[in-house]
Chains A and B, each alone.
Chain A
Amino acid sequence: MSFELAMVEQLAGSTLRVSTPLLFAALAGLLCERAGVINIALEGLMLVGALAAAAAALQTGSPWAGAAGGAAAGAVLAALYALTVIRLRSNQIVAGTAMNMLAAGLTPFACKLLYGSSGATPSLELGARFGSAPIWLAWGLVLCCWAWLRFSVSGLWVRFAGENPEALDSAGISVNRVRWLAVLAGGALAGLGGASLSIFLSSSFSRNMTAGRGFMALAALIFGKWKPVPAAAACLLFGFADALQIRLQGVALWGDRPVPVQFIQILPYLVTILVLAGLVGKSRAPRALGLPFQRD
Chain B
Amino acid sequence: MQMKNLILTVFLLALTQRYAEAGEFRVALVFDKGGKDDRSFNSAAFQGATRAKEEKKIFLKHVEATDDNAFEPLLRSLAQKDFGLIVAIGIAQADAVKKISAQFPKTRFAVVDAEVPGPNVKSLLFEEHEGSYLVGAIAGLTSKTGKIGFIGGMDIPLIRRFELGYEAGFKKVKPSGKVISNFIGVTGEAWNNPAKAKELALSQYGAGADVIFAAAGASNGGLFDAAEEQKKFAIGVDSNQNWIKPGFILTSMLKRIDVAVFDTIVEASEAKFTSGTRRFGLANQGVDYAIDQYNEKLLPEAVRKKVDQLKAEIIAGKIQVPDYYRKK
Residues of A within 8 A of B (CB): 6, 10, 14, 17-18, 21, 104, 108, 112, 117-120, 123, 126, 197, 201-204, 206-209, 211-212, 242-243, 246-247, 249-250, 261-262, 265-266
Contacts and interface: CB of A to CB of B under 8 A. Distances in A.
19 contacts: A18-B199, A108-B35, A117-B39, A118-B35, A118-B37, A119-B43, A120-B38, A202-B198, A204-B221, A206-B192, A207-B218, A208-B189, A209-B195, A211-B185, A211-B195, A246-B182, A250-B180, A265-B183, A265-B185
Contacts of B38: 119-120
B277 interface: no
Contacts of B34: 119
A5 B244 CA distance: 34
Contacts of A119: 34-39, 43, 218
Interface stretch (B222-230, B280-288, B289-297): B222-230
A104 B33 CA distance: 12
B101 interface: no
Given A262-B155, A265-B183, A120 B225 contact: no
Contacts of A262: 155, 186
B196 interface: yes
Contacts of A112: 37
Interface string B24-57: 0000000000111111000100000000000000
Contacts of A209: 192-195
Given A201-B195, A202-B222, 5 more contacts: A18-B195, A202-B221, A211-B192, A212-B189, A246-B199
Given A10-B206, A243-B199, A203 B189 contact: no
Nearest to B64: A118
Contacts of B228: 126, 203
B138 interface: no
Nearest to A115: B37
A262 B160 CA distance: 14
Contact of A117 (B37, B155, B182): B37
Contact of B194 (A14, A18, A206): A206
Nearest to A6: B206
Contacts of A247: 203
B304 to A, nearest CB: 28
Interface of B: 34-39, 43, 66, 155, 180-183, 185-186, 189, 192-196, 198-200, 202-203, 206, 218, 221-222, 224-225, 228-229, 244-245
A112 B151 CA distance: 28
Most B CB within 10 A of own CB, among A197, A261, A266:
A261
B194 A249 contact: no
A10 B155 contact: no
Contacts of B203: 10, 14, 246-247
Nearest to A122: B244
B65 to A, nearest CB: 12
A65 to B, nearest CB: 20
Contacts of B66: 104
B47 to A, nearest CB: 13
Most B CB within 10 A of own CB, among A119, A204, A246:
A119
Contact of B221 (A17, A206, A265): A206
B221 A120 contact: yes
B183 A261 contact: yes
A120 B228 CA distance: 18
A202 B206 contact: no
Nearest to A11: B203
A10 B198 CA distance: 13
A268 B77 CA distance: 39
A126 B229 contact: yes
